[in-house]
Structure 1
Amino acid sequence: MTGMAVRNRFTGGAGYASLTEQTIRAFLESNPEVSKALGGRSQGWSVREVGDGNLNLVFVVKGPVGGVCVKQALPYVRLVGESWPLPIDRAHFEHEALKAEAAVVSDLVPKIYVFDKVRAAIVMELLEPHIILRKGLIQGIRYPKLADDIARFAAQTLFSTSDLALPAGKKREQQSMFSLNTELCRITEDLVFTDPYRIAELNRWTSPQLDHIAAEFREDAPLKIAVQELKWMFLSRGEALLHGDLHTGSIMVTSEETRVIDPEFAFYGPMGFDLGAFMANLLLSYYSQDGHATAGDDRSDYQRWLLDTLEMFWGRFETRFLELWRQAGTGDAFVSGLFEDEAGRRALEAYRVRFMARLLQDSIGFTGAKMARRILGLAHVEDMESIKNTDVRARCERRALILARQLMVGRSSISSIAALRQFAETCRKDAL
C-alpha cells in the first residue's frame, strides 16, 4: 500500500510515497527555508526515524546549523498495520489545527516550516532539549510551568474557536471543514466510548489479573449509559475546535517551556473532551507512581505534586477562560449589548458561573472515559505498561478503573476540582 498513489480530499496524489531515511534528504533540500535551517548539503545531515506513536512516521533531521522534525501520515494505522487503512488527510487537519493554535498561543506550539500536501508531510521546528511529558512523569520530574501553560493553551484555543469569540458564519465555516476528519473521530468514538464496554478484537488488558473487572465493565448497565451519554456529547456538541488528543504523550516539555504537538484528531466538539483528556493522563500517572516507587522514594511526594498540578490546571484554566469571556466575548453567542444594565451584567455573570460548573462536570466525565480506554482498550499508556511486575501494574490499573467508573457515573455530583482530588486519593487508599 505504501508504494501506491494515495489521494484524499486535501492531500496525496501521484507523488505520494512514504518517506525513508534515503528519500527525505532530497525532499528537504528542495525547500530553501528548510535547507537554510539545516545548513550545508544533505549528504552531511543526519536522519533518524523516531516515531513511537500509533499512526505516523516521524523523522528527526539534523544539519550543521540546526534541525527539523518531519511528520508524515501513512495510509494506515501504524500500530496495527496495512489491514487498518486510514486517510492521509489527517495531516491536513493537523496543519490547520496548528495554524489555529499558533494564532492565539504561538509560544506553546511548534513552528511550521512546510506543509507538503502531496506527501501529507509537515516539516516543523525540532524541539530540543524537550522530552515527551509522559516520559518525564514516569521519571518523577516536576515541571513548574506545566499547569499554567496547558491551562493557557486550553483556555485560549477553546475560547477563540467558539461562538463566544467568533461570528457564527466564521465558526460554521471552520466547523464544516474539520467535520470531514471523520475517520479519526471514528477511532475516538470506537476506542474511547464503545470498545472497552464490549467484546472487541483489539481490546487488551493485564490478564488474568483484570479479567474480572473488564467483565464487570461490560455488564455494568449504568456505566454503559453514562459512557454513551458522553459519546453523544462528543457526537453532537460542536462547542469549539479541539486538539482531540490532548494527553501527556502530545506535550513536550523542559523545566522552562511547554509545547503541544500532534493535533491530528482535531475537530469541533465538547470543550470538556480536551480538558478531560489532560486530567485523565495526570491521574493515570498518579496511580502508576506506586508501580515506579523504589526503596529510596515511595513517590508519595510526587503523587501530591501531580494532584496539585491537576487542581492548579483547572483553577487557572477557569480563571483565564472567564477573563477572555469578560474581555473578548465578541462572538454571536451572549451578545454583550443585551447585558449592559446592572441586572443584565449580574445575570450574565451568574450564567458564566453555571457554565463553568457544567464544564467541570463534563470534563470529569470525559476524564473517566479516557482513563478506562487506556487500560481496557487498544492503546495503553507507558506510565502503566512500563511497570514490569504484572501484579503491581494490575493493582495500579484497578485503582484507576475504580475512579474512572465513579467519574463517569457520578460526574454530576462532583462540584469542584478539590472534590475530584479527594475521590482520586480515596480510591487509591481504599485499594491499598
Structure 2
Amino acid sequence: MAVLDNIGYRALTEESACEYVKSLKLFLPDEKMTVEEIGDGNLNYVYRITSNHKSVIIKQALPYAKVVGESWPLTLKRAKLEAEVLKKHGEFVPHLLPAVLASDEELALTVMEDLSHLTIVRDGLIQGDHYPNLSAHIGEYLAKTLFSTSDFALHPFEKKKLVAKFSNPELCKITEDLVFTDPFFDVETNDFEAELAEVVQQLWTNDKLKLEVAKIKYAFLTEAESLLHGDLHTGSIFASKSETKVIDPEFGFYGPIGFDVGQYIAHLIFQVLVRNENDRIVILQQIEEVWDVFSQYFSEAWQNSVVNPFTKVPGALESFLAKVFKDAIGVVGCELIRRTIGLSHVKDLDGIEDSSIRLYVKKATIQLGSSLIINRKNIVTISQLLKELEAYTS
C-alpha cells in the first residue's frame, strides 16, 4: 500500500483548474478561458485550458489508480518525480519533450505545454497513419537521455545522487507486478478471454519460461544503469509527420537501459501483428530504425566520453550494446504477454472487432512473447528480430 502523502491535496475541478493557471499569470486576469478534462489514462486527471491566444495542460495525479479504484492507493509524489524527469531529460533533448511551465508538489500537478496539435501515436497507428520521423526521434531520445544519465557520462557521485533523487518504489512495484510477475501466474488481476485459457495455462506451467522471466525481472530490480522513462509505449508519445514529443514519465527511475528500448519496440510489434502486409512493412522499418538510430547516437556519445576509461577499451561498446539488445528483447516478450492477458491491455489488440481474428492475434502475441523471452540470447541483431516476427504474421 502506498504511503499516504495527500495532506493539503485537493482534486481540481474545471473551475479551480482555471483559477490555478490564472494565479500563475499564464493568462491575463480578464481573459476568457475554456477548460475540459481530457485524460484517458489510468492514474491522472488531465485538464486542457484554452483562450483565444494560448492553451496549457494541467496534469494532476490521483491518490489511487483509476483503473482499479480507491482500493489501490498510490503516492502523489509521482507527480513531482514526473516533472523532474521531464526537466532532466529535457536537458538533453528539449525538442522531444513538452515544456514544463510549473509544478506543484502539494497539489501533485504539473502545468505544461499543450500538445493538442499532435496525435497520440497509438491512436494514429490504429487509424492507419504513418509517422516517418517517429523512430528516428525516439532513437535519438533514448540514446541521448539514457547515455547522458549513465555512468558513462557522469561522475560516480553525481550519478548516485540522481539514483537517490529518482527513486520511485511505488510505481516500480506496479511494473514489477504487472509486467514481470502477475501474467506468469494465476492471479486475480489477470484479464483474458476464456478461449485463451489453454494457451495461458501452458504459459503458467512453463517453468523454463518463468525462469527466464525471473532473470529479466531481477535485472529490472537491480541494474541502475540510466534514468528511464519507465513507460515508453505508443500511448506516451505525441507525434505528427514532422514532430515527436514524449510524455508521461511518471514511472521514471534508474533501471536497465534495455527496458525503455524494449517497451517502445514491443508496442510497434503490436501493430506488426494487426496490420496488413503493406502497412506492416512500414512498421518493421520503424523497428529497425529505432535500434539503428539509438545505436548510432549512443555510439557517438560513447566515443566522446571522457568520464569512464573503459569506453576506450576495444570491444567494450559492442559488448554493452549487445547486453542492452538482449535486455530489450526480454522486455519485449514480457510486454507482449502482459498487454494480452494482464490487467492493462492495449487498444491495438482489444480493438479488433472480429472475435476470431482477435483471438488468433492474441494467441500469436503470447506465443511470440514466450519465444522471445526464451530465445533472447540467440537473437543478437535487429534483423534477426524482424525475421522472428515473420513466423507470426503469415
Question: TM-score w.r.t. structure 2 length?
Answer: 0.97
Q: Which amino acid aligns with 1:248?
A: T
Percent of pairs identical after alignment?
Answer: 38
Q: Structure 2: give runs of 5+ residues left out of the alignment.
A: none
**CA-CA distance at 1:335 after TM superposition:** 5.4
The partner residue of 1:100 within 77, 88, 106 is 88
Alignment of 1:12-411 (within 5 A): 12-14=6-8, 16-32=9-25, 34-35=26-27, 39=28, 41=30, 44-179=32-167, 181-205=168-192, 207-289=193-275, 299-327=276-304, 329-331=305-307, 333-334=308-309, 339=312, 348-411=313-376
Q: Which amino acid aligns with 1:303?
A: R
User: 2:264 and 2:90 mapped to 1: Cα distance?
Assistant: 19
User: 1:171 and 1:24 mapped to 2: Cα distance?
Assistant: 37
**CA-CA distance at 1:40 after TM superposition:** 6.0
**CA-CA distance at 1:76 after TM superposition:** 0.2
User: 1:316 and 1:55 mapped to 2: Cα distance?
Assistant: 32
Q: Secondary structure at the match of 1:209?
A: helix
User: 1:227 and 1:148 mapped to 2: Cα distance?
Assistant: 29
- 1:118-159 CA-partner distances (Å, limit 9, x unpaired): 111000000131010000110111111011100000000000
User: 1:199 and 1:334 mapped to 2: Cα distance?
Assistant: 47
User: 2:191 and 2:268 mapped to 1: Cα distance?
Assistant: 22
Of stretches 354-363 and 364-373 in structure 1, the one that deviates more from structure 2 is 354-363
Q: Secondary structure at the match of 2:45?
A: strand
Q: Structure 1: give runs of 5+ residues left out of the alignment.
A: 1-5, 290-298, 340-347
CA RMSD of aligned residues (A): 1.3
**CA-CA distance at 1:330 after TM superposition:** 2.8
Q: Secondary structure at the match of 2:269?
A: helix
- 1:32-63 CA-partner distances (Å, limit 9, x unpaired): 1x22xxx5636x21111111111100111111
The answer to whether the 8 Å contact 1:40/1:64 transfers is no
Q: Secondary structure at the match of 1:61?
A: strand
- 1:1-58 CA-partner distances (Å, limit 9, x unpaired): xxxxx963xxx532x10111121111111011x22xxx5636x211111111111001
Q: Which amino acid aligns with 1:131?
A: T
User: 1:227 and 1:103 mapped to 2: Cα distance?
Assistant: 34
Aligned length: 392
The answer to whether the 8 Å contact 1:175/1:268 transfers is yes
User: 1:385 and 1:288 mapped to 2: Cα distance?
Assistant: 11
User: 1:202 and 1:7 mapped to 2: Cα distance?
Assistant: 23
- 1:63-119 CA-partner distances (Å, limit 9, x unpaired): 121101110000000111111000011101101100111000000000011101111
The answer to whether the 8 Å contact 2:272/2:393 transfers is no
**CA-CA distance at 1:349 after TM superposition:** 3.2
Of stretches 400-409 and 157-166 in structure 1, the one that deviates more from structure 2 is 400-409
- Structure 1 pair 147–137 and aligned structure 2 pair: CA distance change class (3 A): same
